[in-house]
Copies of this chain bind each other. A is one copy, B any other.
Amino acid sequence: MHLGVTCLVISIVCSAALEQGRSSWTGKLLVVPMDGSHWTGVKAVVEEMGRRGHTVIVVIPEISMRLGPGKHYITKTFPITYGQDLINQMIGEHVHELTEPEQFMRNAFNYMASTTESLLKSRELIEFLREQNFDAVLTDPALPMGAILAYNLSVPAVYMLRGLLCEAAATGSPDPPSYIPRFFTQYSNRMSFSQRVLNVFVSMLEPLICKFVYWPFEELTYNFLQRDMSLIEILSTGAVWLMRYDFSLEFPKPLMPIMQLIGGINYGIRNPLKKEVEEFVKGSGEHGIVVFSLGSLVSSMPKEKAAIFFKAFSMIPQRVLWRYTGEIPDDVPENVKLMKWLPQNDLLGHPKAKAFITHGGTHGIYEGICHGVPMVMLPLFGDQGDNVHRVATRGVGVVLSIHDITAETLVDALNTVINDSSYKQRMEKLSAIHNDRPMQPLDLAVYWTEFVMRHKGADHLRPAAHDLNWLQYHSLDVIGFLLFIVLIITLATFKCCALCWRRCCRKSQKRKED
Protein backbone atom coordinates (compact mmCIF):
# COMPACT_ATOMS: atom_id res chain seq x y z
CA MET A 1 0.00 0.00 0.00
CA HIS A 2 1.43 3.39 -0.91
CA LEU A 3 2.32 5.54 2.09
CA GLY A 4 0.33 8.59 1.01
CA VAL A 5 -2.83 6.58 0.79
CA THR A 6 -2.31 5.18 4.30
CA CYS A 7 -2.21 8.62 5.94
CA LEU A 8 -5.31 9.77 4.12
CA VAL A 9 -7.38 6.77 5.21
CA ILE A 10 -6.42 7.16 8.87
CA SER A 11 -7.13 10.86 8.68
CA ILE A 12 -10.67 10.42 7.39
CA VAL A 13 -11.64 7.61 9.77
CA CYS A 14 -10.32 9.44 12.84
CA SER A 15 -11.88 12.78 11.90
CA ALA A 16 -15.29 11.26 11.51
CA ALA A 17 -15.07 9.33 14.77
CA LEU A 18 -13.91 12.27 16.82
CA GLU A 19 -16.64 14.47 15.42
CA GLN A 20 -19.25 11.90 16.38
CA GLY A 21 -17.85 11.74 19.90
CA ARG A 22 -17.78 15.49 20.52
CA SER A 23 -20.76 17.61 21.33
CA SER A 24 -22.27 19.76 18.60
CA TRP A 25 -21.32 23.00 20.38
CA THR A 26 -20.10 25.67 18.01
CA GLY A 27 -18.40 28.98 18.69
CA LYS A 28 -16.81 32.00 17.09
CA LEU A 29 -13.23 32.07 15.87
CA LEU A 30 -11.24 35.08 14.71
CA VAL A 31 -8.31 34.33 12.41
CA VAL A 32 -5.47 36.78 11.76
CA PRO A 33 -3.23 34.93 9.32
CA MET A 34 0.19 35.62 7.88
CA ASP A 35 0.56 35.70 4.12
CA GLY A 36 2.66 33.38 1.94
CA SER A 37 3.35 29.76 2.81
CA HIS A 38 2.41 30.44 6.47
CA TRP A 39 -1.22 30.57 5.29
CA THR A 40 -1.24 26.92 4.08
CA GLY A 41 -1.61 25.21 7.47
CA VAL A 42 -3.79 27.93 8.95
CA LYS A 43 -6.15 27.74 5.97
CA ALA A 44 -6.57 23.99 6.43
CA VAL A 45 -7.65 24.54 10.06
CA VAL A 46 -9.86 27.49 9.14
CA GLU A 47 -11.73 25.52 6.47
CA GLU A 48 -12.18 22.56 8.83
CA MET A 49 -13.41 24.79 11.66
CA GLY A 50 -15.95 26.37 9.31
CA ARG A 51 -17.03 22.97 8.06
CA ARG A 52 -17.71 21.94 11.64
CA GLY A 53 -20.17 24.77 12.00
CA HIS A 54 -18.08 27.38 13.83
CA THR A 55 -18.41 30.99 12.73
CA VAL A 56 -14.96 31.85 11.38
CA ILE A 57 -13.94 35.39 10.46
CA VAL A 58 -10.58 35.82 8.72
CA VAL A 59 -9.07 39.31 8.78
CA ILE A 60 -6.83 40.04 5.76
CA PRO A 61 -5.22 43.09 4.14
CA GLU A 62 -6.81 44.51 0.97
CA ILE A 63 -3.90 43.31 -1.15
CA SER A 64 -2.09 40.04 -0.50
CA MET A 65 -0.11 37.25 -2.03
CA ARG A 66 -2.24 34.24 -1.23
CA LEU A 67 -4.82 35.26 1.37
CA GLY A 68 -8.37 35.26 0.14
CA PRO A 69 -11.93 34.02 0.56
CA GLY A 70 -12.80 30.37 1.10
CA LYS A 71 -15.76 28.05 1.28
CA HIS A 72 -16.32 27.88 5.02
CA TYR A 73 -15.28 31.26 6.39
CA ILE A 74 -16.01 34.98 6.14
CA THR A 75 -13.24 37.45 5.21
CA LYS A 76 -12.99 41.01 6.48
CA THR A 77 -10.41 43.23 4.78
CA PHE A 78 -8.62 46.27 6.14
CA PRO A 79 -6.98 49.10 4.14
CA ILE A 80 -3.21 49.19 3.81
CA THR A 81 -0.74 51.92 2.92
CA TYR A 82 1.45 49.92 0.53
CA GLY A 83 0.62 48.84 -3.01
CA GLN A 84 1.04 45.78 -5.20
CA ASP A 85 4.68 46.85 -5.81
CA LEU A 86 5.84 45.78 -2.36
CA ILE A 87 4.11 42.41 -2.78
CA ASN A 88 5.78 41.93 -6.16
CA GLN A 89 9.15 42.76 -4.64
CA MET A 90 8.47 40.11 -1.98
CA ILE A 91 7.46 37.40 -4.42
CA GLY A 92 10.72 37.89 -6.29
CA GLU A 93 10.42 37.29 -9.99
CA HIS A 94 13.82 35.71 -10.11
CA VAL A 95 15.58 33.26 -7.86
CA HIS A 96 18.73 35.38 -7.59
CA GLU A 97 16.76 38.11 -5.85
CA LEU A 98 15.89 35.63 -3.15
CA THR A 99 19.45 34.61 -2.65
CA GLU A 100 20.05 38.10 -1.32
CA PRO A 101 18.44 37.38 2.01
CA GLU A 102 19.16 40.77 3.55
CA GLN A 103 17.12 42.65 0.95
CA PHE A 104 14.37 40.05 1.17
CA MET A 105 14.24 40.24 4.98
CA ARG A 106 14.17 44.04 4.85
CA ASN A 107 11.25 43.96 2.41
CA ALA A 108 9.48 41.33 4.46
CA PHE A 109 9.83 43.23 7.74
CA ASN A 110 8.72 46.51 6.13
CA TYR A 111 5.71 44.70 4.80
CA MET A 112 4.94 43.08 8.19
CA ALA A 113 5.29 46.29 10.19
CA SER A 114 3.21 48.23 7.69
CA THR A 115 0.47 45.57 7.68
CA THR A 116 0.40 45.53 11.49
CA GLU A 117 0.17 49.30 11.68
CA SER A 118 -2.66 49.31 9.15
CA LEU A 119 -4.65 46.69 11.06
CA LEU A 120 -4.17 48.30 14.46
CA LYS A 121 -5.27 51.65 13.02
CA SER A 122 -8.49 50.15 11.60
CA ARG A 123 -10.50 51.26 14.63
CA GLU A 124 -13.85 50.56 13.04
CA LEU A 125 -12.93 46.99 12.12
CA ILE A 126 -11.51 46.39 15.59
CA GLU A 127 -14.70 47.66 17.22
CA PHE A 128 -16.69 45.35 14.96
CA LEU A 129 -14.46 42.44 16.00
CA ARG A 130 -14.83 43.36 19.68
CA GLU A 131 -18.62 43.18 19.38
CA GLN A 132 -18.41 39.64 17.99
CA ASN A 133 -17.26 38.23 21.37
CA PHE A 134 -14.97 35.64 19.85
CA ASP A 135 -14.11 32.49 21.77
CA ALA A 136 -10.54 32.39 20.43
CA VAL A 137 -8.11 33.98 17.99
CA LEU A 138 -6.04 31.77 15.66
CA THR A 139 -2.91 33.50 14.42
CA ASP A 140 0.72 33.11 13.39
CA PRO A 141 2.88 34.93 15.96
CA ALA A 142 5.70 35.41 13.42
CA LEU A 143 3.49 38.35 12.34
CA PRO A 144 2.49 39.48 15.84
CA MET A 145 -0.52 41.65 14.95
CA GLY A 146 -2.93 38.81 15.71
CA ALA A 147 -1.39 38.24 19.13
CA ILE A 148 -1.57 41.97 19.95
CA LEU A 149 -5.18 42.13 18.79
CA ALA A 150 -6.13 39.04 20.81
CA TYR A 151 -4.62 40.59 23.91
CA ASN A 152 -6.50 43.82 23.30
CA LEU A 153 -9.80 41.98 22.77
CA SER A 154 -9.16 39.79 25.86
CA VAL A 155 -9.70 36.68 23.78
CA PRO A 156 -7.42 33.61 24.27
CA ALA A 157 -5.01 33.07 21.40
CA VAL A 158 -4.00 29.90 19.56
CA TYR A 159 -0.69 30.28 17.73
CA MET A 160 0.34 28.26 14.69
CA LEU A 161 3.98 28.54 13.69
CA ARG A 162 7.13 26.89 12.42
CA GLY A 163 9.23 28.43 15.17
CA LEU A 164 10.11 31.83 16.55
CA LEU A 165 13.33 33.54 17.56
CA CYS A 166 11.78 34.49 20.90
CA GLU A 167 10.04 31.13 21.32
CA ALA A 168 11.81 29.91 24.47
CA ALA A 169 11.16 33.15 26.34
CA ALA A 170 7.54 33.32 25.20
CA THR A 171 6.66 29.68 25.93
CA GLY A 172 8.84 29.29 29.02
CA SER A 173 10.36 26.21 27.40
CA PRO A 174 13.92 25.26 28.44
CA ASP A 175 16.24 25.31 25.48
CA PRO A 176 19.70 23.99 26.52
CA PRO A 177 22.21 25.21 23.91
CA SER A 178 24.38 22.17 24.66
CA TYR A 179 22.28 19.93 22.42
CA ILE A 180 19.65 22.15 20.81
CA PRO A 181 21.19 23.81 17.75
CA ARG A 182 20.17 27.41 17.22
CA PHE A 183 18.38 28.69 14.11
CA PHE A 184 20.64 29.38 11.12
CA THR A 185 23.68 27.60 12.62
CA GLN A 186 23.02 24.45 10.57
CA TYR A 187 24.40 22.37 13.45
CA SER A 188 23.04 19.00 14.48
CA ASN A 189 22.14 17.98 18.04
CA ARG A 190 25.57 16.43 18.43
CA MET A 191 28.03 19.33 18.36
CA SER A 192 31.78 19.57 18.70
CA PHE A 193 33.20 21.82 21.44
CA SER A 194 33.76 24.73 19.04
CA GLN A 195 30.24 24.34 17.67
CA ARG A 196 28.88 24.35 21.20
CA VAL A 197 30.83 27.53 21.93
CA LEU A 198 29.23 29.26 18.94
CA ASN A 199 25.83 27.81 19.77
CA VAL A 200 25.99 29.09 23.36
CA PHE A 201 27.15 32.45 22.02
CA VAL A 202 24.21 32.65 19.59
CA SER A 203 21.83 31.60 22.37
CA MET A 204 23.15 34.49 24.48
CA LEU A 205 22.54 36.90 21.61
CA GLU A 206 19.06 35.55 20.93
CA PRO A 207 17.16 37.86 23.30
CA LEU A 208 18.95 40.83 21.73
CA ILE A 209 18.29 39.65 18.16
CA CYS A 210 14.68 39.03 19.11
CA LYS A 211 14.39 42.55 20.56
CA PHE A 212 16.05 44.04 17.48
CA VAL A 213 13.97 42.13 14.94
CA TYR A 214 10.67 42.92 16.63
CA TRP A 215 11.60 46.50 17.49
CA PRO A 216 9.05 48.13 15.14
CA PHE A 217 6.29 46.04 16.69
CA GLU A 218 7.17 47.12 20.24
CA GLU A 219 6.37 50.70 19.34
CA LEU A 220 3.20 49.77 17.47
CA THR A 221 2.12 47.71 20.48
CA TYR A 222 2.68 50.59 22.86
CA ASN A 223 0.79 53.05 20.66
CA PHE A 224 -2.11 50.63 20.28
CA LEU A 225 -2.44 49.33 23.83
CA GLN A 226 -1.20 52.48 25.55
CA ARG A 227 0.56 50.16 27.99
CA ASP A 228 4.24 49.56 28.51
CA MET A 229 4.27 45.89 27.67
CA SER A 230 6.94 43.99 25.76
CA LEU A 231 6.05 41.83 22.80
CA ILE A 232 7.40 38.78 24.65
CA GLU A 233 4.94 39.44 27.47
CA ILE A 234 2.09 39.56 24.96
CA LEU A 235 3.26 36.45 23.10
CA SER A 236 3.57 34.59 26.42
CA THR A 237 -0.20 34.90 26.92
CA GLY A 238 -0.79 32.51 24.02
CA ALA A 239 -2.99 29.65 25.27
CA VAL A 240 -1.79 26.93 22.90
CA TRP A 241 1.15 26.85 20.47
CA LEU A 242 0.61 24.62 17.45
CA MET A 243 4.14 23.90 16.22
CA ARG A 244 4.48 23.00 12.54
CA TYR A 245 7.18 20.37 13.04
CA ASP A 246 7.76 16.93 14.48
CA PHE A 247 10.71 14.76 15.42
CA SER A 248 10.99 12.96 12.13
CA LEU A 249 12.69 16.19 11.00
CA GLU A 250 13.59 18.12 14.17
CA PHE A 251 16.01 17.04 16.89
CA PRO A 252 14.27 15.89 20.09
CA LYS A 253 14.01 18.65 22.69
CA PRO A 254 11.86 19.58 25.68
CA LEU A 255 8.37 20.89 25.03
CA MET A 256 5.99 22.77 27.27
CA PRO A 257 2.48 21.32 27.70
CA ILE A 258 1.06 24.28 25.73
CA MET A 259 3.04 23.16 22.65
CA GLN A 260 1.41 20.66 20.31
CA LEU A 261 3.17 19.21 17.28
CA ILE A 262 1.31 19.42 13.99
CA GLY A 263 4.18 18.97 11.51
CA GLY A 264 2.90 17.88 8.11
CA ILE A 265 -0.53 19.46 8.63
CA ASN A 266 -0.91 20.16 4.92
CA TYR A 267 -0.58 16.72 3.39
CA GLY A 268 -4.04 15.55 4.46
CA ILE A 269 -5.66 17.51 1.65
CA ARG A 270 -5.38 15.41 -1.52
CA ASN A 271 -7.01 15.82 -4.89
CA PRO A 272 -6.87 13.60 -7.96
CA LEU A 273 -4.48 14.82 -10.69
CA LYS A 274 -5.89 16.46 -13.82
CA LYS A 275 -6.25 13.99 -16.68
CA GLU A 276 -3.47 15.58 -18.73
CA VAL A 277 -1.03 15.56 -15.80
CA GLU A 278 -1.98 12.02 -14.81
CA GLU A 279 -1.23 10.87 -18.36
CA PHE A 280 2.15 12.62 -18.39
CA VAL A 281 3.01 10.99 -15.05
CA LYS A 282 1.83 7.53 -16.09
CA GLY A 283 3.78 7.81 -19.33
CA SER A 284 7.02 7.96 -17.33
CA GLY A 285 7.02 4.17 -17.14
CA GLU A 286 9.36 2.39 -14.75
CA HIS A 287 11.63 5.44 -14.45
CA GLY A 288 8.97 7.54 -12.79
CA ILE A 289 8.90 11.28 -12.23
CA VAL A 290 10.87 14.05 -10.57
CA VAL A 291 8.86 16.85 -8.91
CA PHE A 292 10.56 20.25 -8.96
CA SER A 293 9.46 23.40 -7.15
CA LEU A 294 11.33 26.19 -5.38
CA GLY A 295 8.27 27.22 -3.36
CA SER A 296 5.63 29.86 -3.69
CA LEU A 297 8.04 32.82 -3.56
CA VAL A 298 10.14 31.73 -6.53
CA SER A 299 8.29 31.12 -9.75
CA SER A 300 11.08 31.46 -12.27
CA MET A 301 14.82 31.95 -12.53
CA PRO A 302 17.32 33.70 -14.83
CA LYS A 303 17.65 32.18 -18.28
CA GLU A 304 21.24 30.97 -17.73
CA LYS A 305 20.30 29.26 -14.46
CA ALA A 306 17.24 27.64 -16.05
CA ALA A 307 19.42 26.35 -18.89
CA ILE A 308 21.45 24.30 -16.39
CA PHE A 309 18.30 22.60 -15.16
CA PHE A 310 17.00 21.99 -18.71
CA LYS A 311 20.33 20.46 -19.65
CA ALA A 312 20.39 18.22 -16.58
CA PHE A 313 16.83 17.04 -17.13
CA SER A 314 17.61 16.13 -20.75
CA MET A 315 20.23 13.74 -19.35
CA ILE A 316 17.94 11.69 -17.05
CA PRO A 317 15.40 9.01 -17.97
CA GLN A 318 12.76 10.33 -15.53
CA ARG A 319 10.01 12.76 -16.50
CA VAL A 320 10.12 16.10 -14.70
CA LEU A 321 7.23 18.31 -13.55
CA TRP A 322 8.50 21.81 -12.84
CA ARG A 323 6.70 24.82 -11.38
CA TYR A 324 7.88 27.52 -13.83
CA THR A 325 6.31 30.77 -14.95
CA GLY A 326 9.27 32.38 -16.73
CA GLU A 327 10.05 32.65 -20.40
CA ILE A 328 9.80 29.24 -22.04
CA PRO A 329 12.83 28.46 -24.20
CA ASP A 330 12.48 26.71 -27.57
CA ASP A 331 14.39 23.60 -26.68
CA VAL A 332 12.51 22.34 -23.61
CA PRO A 333 13.38 18.63 -23.36
CA GLU A 334 10.48 16.27 -24.09
CA ASN A 335 10.58 14.74 -20.63
CA VAL A 336 9.96 18.11 -18.91
CA LYS A 337 6.52 19.55 -18.23
CA LEU A 338 6.48 23.21 -17.13
CA MET A 339 3.47 24.20 -15.04
CA LYS A 340 2.36 27.55 -13.65
CA TRP A 341 0.89 25.83 -10.65
CA LEU A 342 2.09 22.46 -9.43
CA PRO A 343 -0.16 20.05 -7.45
CA GLN A 344 2.97 19.28 -5.42
CA ASN A 345 1.41 17.17 -2.66
CA ASP A 346 -0.67 15.13 -5.09
CA LEU A 347 2.35 14.52 -7.32
CA LEU A 348 4.58 13.49 -4.39
CA GLY A 349 1.82 11.16 -3.24
CA HIS A 350 1.81 9.45 -6.67
CA PRO A 351 3.48 6.01 -6.73
CA LYS A 352 5.62 7.16 -9.69
CA ALA A 353 7.34 9.94 -7.69
CA LYS A 354 11.05 9.08 -7.51
CA ALA A 355 12.67 12.34 -6.39
CA PHE A 356 11.73 15.82 -5.24
CA ILE A 357 13.83 18.89 -6.05
CA THR A 358 12.95 21.46 -3.37
CA HIS A 359 14.19 24.68 -1.78
CA GLY A 360 13.66 23.10 1.65
CA GLY A 361 10.62 24.91 3.01
CA THR A 362 8.99 22.93 5.82
CA HIS A 363 5.74 22.33 3.96
CA GLY A 364 7.49 20.72 1.02
CA ILE A 365 9.90 18.75 3.20
CA TYR A 366 7.09 17.25 5.27
CA GLU A 367 5.18 16.40 2.09
CA GLY A 368 8.30 14.63 0.83
CA ILE A 369 8.74 12.77 4.13
CA CYS A 370 5.05 11.83 4.33
CA HIS A 371 5.08 10.30 0.86
CA GLY A 372 8.56 8.80 1.26
CA VAL A 373 10.23 10.61 -1.67
CA PRO A 374 14.02 11.25 -1.41
CA MET A 375 15.05 14.85 -2.07
CA VAL A 376 17.59 17.04 -3.84
CA MET A 377 17.62 20.31 -1.95
CA LEU A 378 18.58 23.85 -2.98
CA PRO A 379 18.15 26.03 0.11
CA LEU A 380 17.56 29.73 -0.62
CA PHE A 381 17.09 31.63 2.65
CA GLY A 382 15.48 31.69 6.11
CA ASP A 383 15.15 28.36 7.92
CA GLN A 384 15.73 26.41 4.71
CA GLY A 385 19.45 25.96 5.42
CA ASP A 386 18.61 24.32 8.77
CA ASN A 387 15.82 22.22 7.28
CA VAL A 388 17.89 20.72 4.47
CA HIS A 389 20.72 20.02 6.90
CA ARG A 390 18.34 17.98 9.07
CA VAL A 391 17.09 16.05 6.03
CA ALA A 392 20.65 15.41 4.85
CA THR A 393 21.82 14.13 8.29
CA ARG A 394 19.06 11.53 8.11
CA GLY A 395 20.48 10.28 4.81
CA VAL A 396 17.32 10.87 2.81
CA GLY A 397 18.42 13.77 0.65
CA VAL A 398 21.33 15.58 -0.99
CA VAL A 399 22.05 19.32 -0.63
CA LEU A 400 23.27 21.42 -3.58
CA SER A 401 23.98 25.13 -3.79
CA ILE A 402 21.89 27.15 -6.22
CA HIS A 403 24.89 29.43 -6.78
CA ASP A 404 27.33 26.93 -8.21
CA ILE A 405 25.01 24.23 -9.47
CA THR A 406 25.94 22.56 -12.78
CA ALA A 407 24.04 20.10 -14.93
CA GLU A 408 26.53 17.40 -13.88
CA THR A 409 26.18 17.94 -10.12
CA LEU A 410 22.39 17.98 -10.45
CA VAL A 411 22.32 14.77 -12.49
CA ASP A 412 24.69 13.15 -10.01
CA ALA A 413 22.50 14.17 -7.09
CA LEU A 414 19.34 12.93 -8.79
CA ASN A 415 20.96 9.64 -9.73
CA THR A 416 22.16 9.20 -6.16
CA VAL A 417 18.79 9.68 -4.48
CA ILE A 418 16.94 7.69 -7.16
CA ASN A 419 19.32 4.78 -7.82
CA ASP A 420 21.10 4.33 -4.46
CA SER A 421 18.37 2.25 -2.80
CA SER A 422 19.62 3.15 0.70
CA TYR A 423 18.08 6.62 0.26
CA LYS A 424 14.67 5.19 -0.48
CA GLN A 425 14.98 2.65 2.36
CA ARG A 426 15.89 5.27 4.96
CA MET A 427 13.18 7.56 3.61
CA GLU A 428 10.56 4.83 3.93
CA LYS A 429 11.59 4.25 7.56
CA LEU A 430 11.43 7.99 8.29
CA SER A 431 8.12 8.23 6.49
CA ALA A 432 6.69 5.35 8.52
CA ILE A 433 7.67 7.11 11.75
CA HIS A 434 6.30 10.47 10.60
CA ASN A 435 2.99 9.00 9.49
CA ASP A 436 2.56 6.82 12.59
CA ARG A 437 0.99 9.13 15.15
CA PRO A 438 -1.97 8.90 17.49
CA MET A 439 -3.89 11.61 15.68
CA GLN A 440 -3.48 13.35 12.33
CA PRO A 441 -2.01 16.87 12.62
CA LEU A 442 -5.06 18.63 11.16
CA ASP A 443 -7.36 16.89 13.64
CA LEU A 444 -4.99 17.77 16.47
CA ALA A 445 -4.83 21.43 15.45
CA VAL A 446 -8.61 21.63 15.21
CA TYR A 447 -8.95 19.80 18.51
CA TRP A 448 -6.76 22.25 20.43
CA THR A 449 -8.37 25.27 18.76
CA GLU A 450 -11.76 23.98 19.87
CA PHE A 451 -10.37 23.18 23.33
CA VAL A 452 -9.32 26.81 23.81
CA MET A 453 -12.74 27.95 22.60
CA ARG A 454 -14.61 25.53 24.90
CA HIS A 455 -12.60 26.37 28.03
CA LYS A 456 -11.85 30.07 27.29
CA GLY A 457 -8.12 29.35 27.24
CA ALA A 458 -5.86 26.68 28.69
CA ASP A 459 -4.72 28.23 31.96
CA HIS A 460 -4.02 24.83 33.51
CA LEU A 461 -1.16 24.40 31.01
CA ARG A 462 0.51 27.77 31.68
CA PRO A 463 3.83 27.27 33.50
CA ALA A 464 4.57 29.35 36.60
CA ALA A 465 7.91 30.13 34.94
CA HIS A 466 6.29 33.24 33.46
CA ASP A 467 5.93 34.75 36.96
CA LEU A 468 9.68 34.60 37.60
CA ASN A 469 12.37 36.96 36.45
CA TRP A 470 15.56 35.69 34.82
CA LEU A 471 17.52 35.46 38.08
CA GLN A 472 14.69 33.66 39.88
CA TYR A 473 13.97 31.29 36.98
CA HIS A 474 17.58 30.09 36.96
CA SER A 475 17.61 30.01 40.80
CA LEU A 476 20.60 32.34 40.71
CA ASP A 477 19.27 34.32 43.70
CA VAL A 478 18.96 31.08 45.66
CA ILE A 479 22.39 29.85 44.58
CA GLY A 480 23.84 33.27 45.52
CA PHE A 481 22.18 33.02 48.92
CA LEU A 482 23.45 29.47 49.46
CA LEU A 483 26.97 30.51 48.41
CA PHE A 484 26.72 33.44 50.83
CA ILE A 485 25.76 31.07 53.65
CA VAL A 486 28.63 28.74 52.74
CA LEU A 487 30.97 31.75 52.68
CA ILE A 488 29.78 32.94 56.10
CA ILE A 489 30.19 29.46 57.57
CA THR A 490 33.64 29.07 55.99
CA LEU A 491 34.75 32.49 57.23
CA ALA A 492 33.37 31.84 60.72
CA THR A 493 35.09 28.45 60.85
CA PHE A 494 38.30 30.01 59.59
CA LYS A 495 38.11 32.82 62.17
CA CYS A 496 37.43 30.30 64.95
CA CYS A 497 40.35 28.16 63.88
CA ALA A 498 42.60 31.22 63.62
CA LEU A 499 41.49 32.35 67.08
CA CYS A 500 42.13 28.92 68.58
CA TRP A 501 45.47 28.73 66.79
CA ARG A 502 46.53 32.14 68.09
CA ARG A 503 45.52 31.25 71.64
CA CYS A 504 47.40 27.97 71.47
CA CYS A 505 50.44 29.77 70.06
CA ARG A 506 50.27 32.44 72.75
CA LYS A 507 50.01 29.80 75.46
CA SER A 508 52.97 27.87 74.13
CA GLN A 509 54.88 31.16 73.68
CA LYS A 510 54.05 32.13 77.28
CA ARG A 511 55.16 28.71 78.45
CA LYS A 512 58.41 29.16 76.53
CA GLU A 513 58.84 32.64 78.03
CA ASP A 514 58.06 31.20 81.46
Contacts and interface: CB of A to CB of B under 8 A. Distances in A.
A422 B461 CA distance: 22
A319 to B, nearest CB: 32
A253 B460 CA distance: 11
Interface in A145-159: none
Contact of A14 (B17, B433, B472): B17
A13 B20 contact: yes
Contact of A16 (B17, B177, B197, B436): B17
Interface stretch (A85-93, A359-367, A462-470): A462-470
A248, A467, A475, A482, most chain B CB atoms within 10 A: A475
A179 B251 contact: no
A69 B467 CA distance: 50
Contact of A438 (B200, B254, B255, B447): B447
Protomer copies: 2
A173 interface: yes
A260 to B, nearest CB: 9
Given A174-B174, A174-B176, A455-B432, A251 B464 contact: yes
Given A200-B475, A444-B438, A463 B178 contact: no
Interface in A243-300: 247-248, 251-258
A507 interface: no
Contacts of A22: 10
A473 B257 CA distance: 23
Given A176-B475, A200-B479, 10 more contacts: A13-B21, A174-B176, A177-B475, A200-B482, A251-B463, A251-B464, A252-B258, A254-B463, A438-B443, A438-B448
Contact of A463 (B9, B252, B465, B472): B252
A167 to B, nearest CB: 13
Nearest to A450: B436
A462 B21 CA distance: 34
Interface of A: 9-10, 13-14, 16-18, 20-22, 173-174, 176-179, 189-190, 193, 196-197, 200-201, 247-248, 251-258, 432-433, 436, 438-439, 443-444, 447-448, 451, 454-455, 460-465, 467-468, 472-475, 477-479, 481-482
Contacts of A193: 477-478, 481
A460 B252 contact: yes
B475 A178 contact: yes
A482 B201 contact: yes
13 contacts: A14-B14, A16-B17, A176-B474, A177-B478, A178-B478, A189-B464, A193-B478, A196-B478, A252-B463, A253-B257, A255-B257, A436-B451, A439-B439
Nearest to A11: B21
Contact of A254 (B254, B477, B479): B254
Question: Closest 10 interchain pairs by CB?
Answer: A17-B17, A174-B174, A189-B464, A254-B254, A179-B464, A10-B21, A13-B21, A252-B463, A200-B478, A438-B447
A173, A193, A439, A464, most chain B CB atoms within 10 A: A464
A82 to B, nearest CB: 41
B252 A462 contact: yes
Contacts of A179: 463-465, 467-468, 473
Contact of A255 (B20, B255, B433, B468): B255
A479 B9 CA distance: 51
A65 to B, nearest CB: 33
B255 A254 contact: yes
Contacts of A478: 177-178, 193, 196-197, 200
A438 B439 contact: yes
Nearest to A430: B460
A460 B433 contact: yes
B468 A454 contact: no
A427 to B, nearest CB: 14
A200 B471 CA distance: 14
A174 to B, nearest CB: 4
Given A197-B481, A200-B475, A477-B193, A254 B174 contact: yes
A444 B472 CA distance: 36
A438 B436 contact: no
Contacts of A447: 438
A443 B18 CA distance: 13
Given A176-B174, A464-B251, A467-B190, A454 B438 contact: no
A318 B16 CA distance: 43
B252 A176 contact: no
A220 to B, nearest CB: 30
B174 A464 contact: no
A467 B190 CA distance: 8
